[in-house]
Structures are given as C-alpha cells and as structure tokens.
Amino acid sequence: MSTNPARRNAIEAIASQPRLQGSFDFRNEKIDLIYGQNVFSLDKMEKRLPKDVFKSLKANIESGTKLDAASADVVAAAIKDWALERGATHYAHVFYPLTGFTAEKHDTFFEPNGNGTLAQFSGKALIQAEPDASSFPNGGLRSTFEARGYTAWDVTSPAYIFDTENGSTLCIPTAFVSWKGEALDKKTPLLRSMAAVNKSASRVLALFGKKHGYISASCGPEQEYFLIDTRLFHLRPDLYTCGRSLFGSKPAKGQEFEDQYFGTIPDRVLACMMETERECFKLGIPIKTRHNEVAPSQYEVAPIYESANVAHDHQMLTMTLLKRVATKHGFVCLLAEKPFAGVNGSGKHVNWSIGGAGVGNLLEPGHSPHENAQFLTFCSAVIRAVDLHQGLLRASVASAGNDHRLGANEAPPAIISIYLGDMLNEVIEQVKKSGSASTSRKGGHMTLGVDTLPILPKDAGDRNRTSPFAFTGNKFEFRAVGSAFSVAGPLTVLNTIMADSLDKLADDLAAALKKNSDFNAALQGVLKDILSKHGRIVFNGNGYSEEWHKEAAKRGLKNLRTTPDALPEIVSKSSIEVFERQGVLSKAELESREEIYTHSYVLTVNTESKLVSDIAKTLLLPAALKFAADLTPVEKTKSGGKLRKEVISLADELSAAADALDAAREVSKSDTHAQAKHSCDKVLPAMLKVRAAADALEEIVADEYWPMPSYQELLFLR
C-alpha cells in the first residue's frame, strides 16, 4: 500500500467508506410506472391532443415528414402544459454538433406580462430555434462572422424532461443546420440517410411485389465503460485532463485470470448501474443488459433495438447519465477507448439492421436461409456496400483514441471484413457458383452428458470476436466503433452505402427482368454477379493473425492502420459520389467533416503530448530525483549504489525523452493534414519513449515517493 500522503488518504477513504444506502427502493418501485414517465410519448400525445392533430402528428412521426405550423402551436401548448406539470421551468433544443458531444441552450417558459409572469411556448419555439453557431466546428463551410444556425425539431424523436437535483428542463431533440442549409451536426445526415434507406429498400421490395410501411434502419448500441474511484481519479492529471492514462507500469495482476468477465458485480458498482438504469427508464431508454466486462473495473450496458435516430439520441443520453450518476456514487465513468494500457479497451458495438411494417426484419434469415430470396437479396446488398466502401467505414470509426484500441487483443483489426458464420457462408458460396442455394446447415442440438441438464439447441455457426463487421443471426454488428463515439457517424455511413447498393441492385434486377420475365432466374443472375465481384470482403477466420493480414493484402482490402491514413477516405471520389447520389452529404459537407476530424486528431495528440511532458518534468522526475537523493547515505552499500545508479540513469533518460518530445511537438507543418501525419509518425512515438522511462522508474522508486496512483490502485480499488 502506498505511503504517499495523498494516495494513502484516498486509499484509506475507499477502504473505510460506509455501505451505500440507496436513495430509493429498488425492490418495490414498479418499472412499468416509471418507464417513459419523462417522455412526451404517443400515449401522452393521444390523451392531450385533439384527434385530428394527434393523427397528423402520428403520421409525421411514422413517415418522417414535417409538422405543419397550425398543428405545431397545438402540440406546443400540450407539451408546455405537460412539462409544467412535471416541474420543468425551462426548455432546450438539444442538438449534436460535430464536436461529437451534446449541445443545448436553455430558455425559460416564463415571460413578464405586467402582473408577474406568464408561461409561453409557441409552435415556432417548438419547431425551430436559432442558437449562435459561430463557435461550433464547421470545417470551412462558412466564415466565423457568419454565425447564424438553426435547430429544427426531429418529430420522430420525442421530447423529454431531464431532471436534476435543482430543477427540470424540457428537452427537444433537433437537427442543426447553417443559414444556408448545410448540416453542422451528426443528426441531419443520419435522418437523410434513413430517408435514403426507405426509398431504396422500397424499390427492391416493389420488385418482390411486397406491400410494406416505412422502412427504417434500427440500432442497438452496446456501451462499454470503466468506473474509477473519484478520489484516485483526481490524483491523476492525465485521467482528468485526457480521459486516459498516459503513464502506468503493468500491475502484478491485470486481466490474466479472466475472472472479471461476467463475474459478480460489486455492490457499489451495482447500485450505480441500477440508478443509471432507473434514470434511463424514466427517459424511455430500453436498457436490457448489464455485466462485468473483461478488464478490471470495466462494465457494459446494452439496450433493446430502436429506430436508428432514436437509438442515437438515447445513446447520447445514456453516456450523459452514466457520467452523471457515477459521480453520485463516488465514481468517474471513463468512456475513452483505451484508458489503461495492457488491459482491454472499450468499444461501442453498433448492432444494425433494416426493416419495417409488413416485411419485418429484412436481415432475418429464417429457418431456411437458402430458401429466403428476400433475405439473400438484402444480405448481398450489405456485402457489396461494405466491400466498395470499406475505407469509408474505417474512417467512420477513426480517432486518436480508437487508434490505441483497434487491432489490440480485445478489438477487431483496422482491416474491414465481414464475418457471416458457417451456415450463411455456405449459402453464399452456393449462390456465387450457381446463383441459387439448395441447402443450408442446421444447428442441431448439444448433448451435455449430464442427465439433469436439458439438451440445448445449437446455433449453425459460432461467433467471431475478431471481426469488425459480423453477422450475428438477424443483424450486423459493427464492432470497430469506439466507446466515446456518437453512433450517428457509423450509422449514417452504413445507411448511405446500403441505400446505394440497394439502388444498384434494383436497377440491375429491373434490367434483368426486361430480358427475362422469370423473376427467380433474373434475381439469381443479379445475386451471383454481386457475390462474385464482392465476396472478397467475407472472412470467417482469425482477424488477429498475420496470415489474415497477408491474405487481405492479396485480396486488395485496405489496411488503414491510423486515423491520418483513414480520414482521407471521407473525401475520396467514391465517397463523395455515393453521399451526393443519395442526397445525404454534399462534397462541401464531407470536406468540412474531414477537416474537422483531422484537426481534432492533431489537437488530441498535442494536448496529450504536452501533458506527458508536463507530468514527466513536474511530477515524476522530481519524485525520482528526491528518491535518488535520499538514497545517498546508503549508496556505499552494494544494493544501494546499484539502485541509485539505476534511478539516476532512468531519470536522465526520462528528462532527455521529455526534451525530445517537446522538440517533436514544436515542429510546425504547412497544413492540418501534414501536422496530423507528423503527430502520428513523430509525436506519438516520442510520447511512448517518455512513458517507457517513467514506467520503468515507477517499478523501482519507493512507493511513498511516487506521486500518482498506480494501475493496481485504479483498477482494483472500488
């Protein structure tokens, strides 16, 4: 145990903390009574709105169309009355700028009227607001002095009330655009991409003769995170400044025992999880799963699937609630992709599918996939989309933080490929050869050899945890997304490339039907062509192996290892064409995003590298030199002299490495892209050299001298 005063006090406080007393009764509180209580949902709309207005609004929600001004005033009045009854005093248009975070501006309902105040909230205030857009990233879309931006209510995502200890606010999920109509946010392209999916999928289904409702993309994002004790967190400048540790020697125990995964959840952590779930339930967020993850102090929460844009809004709220509730329990929630070296990082697995009323889930294979032509058609479209736009998908998950995670033992590699599983892969191989499939593997049953245990049904294929894009039964799981990411970016890319692939398939199938009226024969020819051209993207083996890297290169697949390698894919010719063809993002909007994300990468590396230097020089080096000085009286002994020399040698190495890092960071480049490349190739390696010397010192400097909590303390004290 540390004898450093600050660390010792923190550890003693953790050890002596009283058993947490809950602020509410988990056992007797009825979930069905609190679920959605803070959401202006369809059932509340139906009770509070005139029938004709409700019918109109419901149609708007189901089809994604605009709300007319007359109806908006009626809806606004009903929302205002409901919000006031719930104790709200303010309202806010919540939007999602290109920072990747949530933004909001609060306005009060109450205005002076000569005799006091009167609560006001018009249809115009509900539908549109005008926040100052000058300080949000725009990537050159407009000049700084052109500050006007607009937020517009996304009627498909319901308004809700966000409670805090000091008050409540009515929140209205919105899109955010410039005065000229350019998307300044992540929500607008997502909504455009969902409209594109509906249009393109409808074309294909029409050729099948299917009647259907609105076709929507759905999403169920799994969120991994760490919980670290607040008292230790605030003794680590790297954690509270950057969200990840920049120093730390490997502890005696990490995750080698594999005893954390699905283990018993500690009481204090479970209380935090349960309160987070309660807050999620109030906001209609359908949380389903909670469990320990692989690394010590790492956990996961996952919801049931929802429409993609609502899932996005709920995911942003979930991250907010995870952080907010954690502080009430004395934790800090870390959402960084790789907060600790040597143990698993955190991802956000984006489970994605498309479907709608009348046709169900279009990626549901059924009991006999080889007989399900509709499923094979949509699955083939996915394969084509991912193969053609593998670089764009990689760019959608590119960040400085995620670079530390991708390719490590817990995350998929930077090479994008599709895992289908044995059963579906066999069907696809048959279609590639002949255009049709006659058989598909059955799962069967497992006999466990114990009379008291039931015979279990066996899936037709195993799971592959090394694949970045895996078919998992009735959906695809995009596993390369980082834990701190908004899911809007990856979802926008998936929807857009899928819509474009479906359009191409519809064109080819319509052309084939003109030549041959036999639908099955025409479809078989189209699917065979798609899978023959794009089947290279399918890989069911070990994504970590060197053999796969060599095989991927032979197949012509891209291996974009770093963010500076990946981000240019956003503005490649094929990316611009597909986004413009589908009406999702213009060339200027894409160029702005590539510029913003590149600049963000540079800022992140610069901030971290400056902090590495500062911590090394002002905290770690003085501690090491103080320890060496105190060793002077015993240096004449054999062990004392050897230790002192080792400490001084490493201290010199640390000092020289910090100076070299400063020199590398101060090299100026002509543009943002050159700076990003320099940060990746020169600054990051220089940071690692500083860390190597510091971590070596941590292992030999007496514990009482070391100023920062160790990995052992951070990961195992809770």
Domains annotated for the chain, with CATH where assigned, are 35-185 (3.10.20.70)
Confidence of residue 21 (pLDDT cuts 50, 70, 90): low
pLDDT per residue as tens digits for the range 620-674: 999 999 999 998 876 667 777 889 999 999 999 999 999 999 999 988 777 999 9
Q: What is the pLDDT of residue 440?
A: 54
Please state whether beta strands 215-229 and 331-334 pair in parallel, antiparallel, or not at all (unpaired).
antiparallel
Q: What is the pLDDT of residue 446?
A: 41
Cβ-contact 224, 483 below 8 angstroms: yes
The gap between the terminal CA atoms of the chain, to the nearest Å, is 15
Is 50 exceeded by the pLDDT of residue 277? yes
Percent of the chain with pLDDT over 90: 63
Is 90 exceeded by the pLDDT of residue 69? no
| φ, ψ of residue 468 in degrees (nearest 5) | -75, -20
Q: Is 463 exposed, middle or buried (0-12, 13-18, 19+ CB in 10 A)?
A: middle
Q: List C-alpha distances in Å: 456 to 150, 436, 442, 473.
A: 55, 31, 14, 17
| Mean pLDDT in residue range 596-617 | 97
Q: How many helices (H) and strands (E) does the chain have?
A: 26, 20
- d(Cα 603, Cα 386) in Å, to the nearest integer? 30
Instruction: Give the rounded distance of the alpha carbon of 678 from its chain centre.
Output: 27
The first and second tokens of residue 235, run together, are 């003794």
- d(Cα 282, Cα 261) in Å, to the nearest integer? 29
More reliable by pLDDT, 274 or 121: 274
Please state whether beta strands 418-419 and 469-471 pair in parallel, antiparallel, or not at all (unpaired).
parallel
Q: What is the pLDDT of residue 140?
A: 65
Min mean pLDDT across 24-33, 190-199, 449-458 is at 449-458
| Mean pLDDT in residue range 456-478 | 73
Min mean pLDDT across 19-33, 162-176, 518-532 is at 19-33
Q: List C-alpha distances in Å: 377 to 204, 381, 402, 468.
A: 9, 6, 33, 22
Q: What is the pLDDT of residue 424?
A: 84
**CB-based contacts of 619, cutoff 8 Å, min separation 6:** 237, 707, 708
**Which amino acid, residue 413?**
P
CA angle 82, 86, 91 (to 5 degrees): 75
Query: Would you list the DSSP string of 4-66?
Result: SHHHHHHHHHHHHPPPPPPSS-TTTS-HHHHTTTTB--HHHHHHHS-HHHHHHHHHHHHHTPP
DSSP, collapsed to helix, strand or coil, labels residue 500 as helix
Percent of the chain with pLDDT over 70: 89
Min mean pLDDT across 535-544, 582-591, 672-681, 704-713 is at 535-544
- d(Cα 171, Cα 109) in Å, to the nearest integer? 12
pLDDT per residue as tens digits for the range 285-328: 999 999 999 999 999 999 999 999 999 999 999 999 999 999 99
Is 90 exceeded by the pLDDT of residue 451? no
How many Cβ atoms sit within 10 Å of the Cβ of residue 520? Answer: 11
Q: What is the pLDDT of residue 460?
A: 46
Is 90 exceeded by the pLDDT of residue 442? no
Q: What is the pLDDT of residue 10?
A: 81
